């Protein structure tokens, strides 16, 4: 016959084990990799309806689109998504890779100018090698983006169908895109976006850099919020 002291001892040990387990789970949950992709904030010019947009030049994202840490895949993902959603609008990525490689600060300086003036100084822009090349495409507007912050976080995941937690990495990228009129430099639209990608959460073999996937995931959240459908498409 089990005595009350033995029952109390068993209960105590079970309670102690439960507390330790919960503490361990709590620590684990704090480090579980769960990607999130959101549009943090967005601005749309109240005068956007006054603009006719038949063609858009999509610039590769700053600061660099040519290295293995660049955004080549994300830029093309954005391009293909835009073409699907706006089939009557012409989208092109100007051949500016060599320019951006030689002067990696060109786009950064242009975006700094946009932030300070609240519009793009077209005279200054078209005097740059980057602007001169874009001008040759005779586009009505330009989409230009910039990476603001990249964070890599280590944690755990139950990816690839494995219940047991395994090491995982979360790549988090905060970035901004602007839609700029190339007729007068007005900022027609601006979005601050957070894109994330968790590794060992996917069943496919990764080909491109985590940053590419993180930005593409963020683009998927903002693609239907780009206001070209509100502008004069003729």
Q: What is the mean pLDDT of residues 167-177?
A: 88
Highest-scoring range by mean pLDDT, 40-49, 55-64, 159-168, 196-205: 40-49
Q: End-to-end distance of the chain based on CA atoms, in angstroms?
A: 90
| Residue 145: pLDDT over 80 | yes
| Residue 159: pLDDT over 90 | no
**Mean model confidence pLDDT for the chain:** 77
Are 113 and 121 contacting, i.e. CB atoms less than 8 angstroms apart?
yes
Q: What is the mean pLDDT of residues 202-226?
A: 79
Q: For helices 210-222 and 72-85, give the axis angle rounded to 10 degrees.
A: 20
pLDDT band at 64 (very low <50, low <70, confident <90, very high): low
Highest-scoring range by mean pLDDT, 119-128, 129-138, 177-186: 177-186
Q: What is the mean pLDDT of residues 102-119?
A: 78
Lowest mean pLDDT among 82-91, 104-113, 117-126, 220-229: 104-113
pLDDT band at 63 (very low <50, low <70, confident <90, very high): low
Highest-scoring range by mean pLDDT, 60-64, 171-175, 226-230: 171-175
Query: So what's the pLDDT on residue 133?
Result: 87
Query: So what's the pLDDT on residue 21?
Result: 44
CATH of domain 34-230: 3.30.160.150
DSSP tag of 107: H
């Amino acid at each position: 016959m089990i005595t009350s002291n033995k029952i109390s001892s068993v209960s105590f040990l079970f309670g102690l084990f439960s507390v330790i387990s919960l503490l361990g789970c709590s620590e684990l949950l704090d480090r579980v990799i769960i990607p999130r992709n959101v549009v943090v904030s967005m601005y749309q010019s109240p005068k956007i309806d006054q603009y006719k947009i038949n063609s858009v030049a999509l610039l590769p994202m700053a600061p660099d689109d040519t290295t293995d840490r660049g955004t080549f895949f994300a830029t093309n993902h954005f391009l293909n998504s835009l073409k699907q959603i706006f089939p009557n609008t012409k989208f092109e990525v100007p051949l500016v890779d060599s320019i951006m490689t030689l002067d990696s600060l060109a786009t950064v300086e242009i975006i700094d100018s946009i932030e300070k003036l609240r519009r793009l100084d077209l005279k200054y822009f078209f005097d740059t090698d980057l602007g001169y090349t874009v001008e040759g495409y005779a586009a009505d507007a330009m989409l230009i983006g910039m990476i603001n912050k990249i964070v890599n976080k280590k944690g755990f995941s139950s990816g690839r169908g494995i219940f047991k937690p395994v090491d995982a990495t979360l790549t988090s990228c905060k970035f901004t895109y602007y839609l700029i009129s190339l007729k007068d430099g007005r900022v027609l639209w601006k979005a601050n976006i957070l894109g994330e990608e968790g590794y060992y959460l996917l069943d496919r073999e990764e080909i491109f850099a985590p940053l590419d996937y993180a930005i593409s995931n963020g683009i998927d959240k903002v693609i239907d919020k780009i206001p070209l459908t509100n502008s004069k498409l003729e």
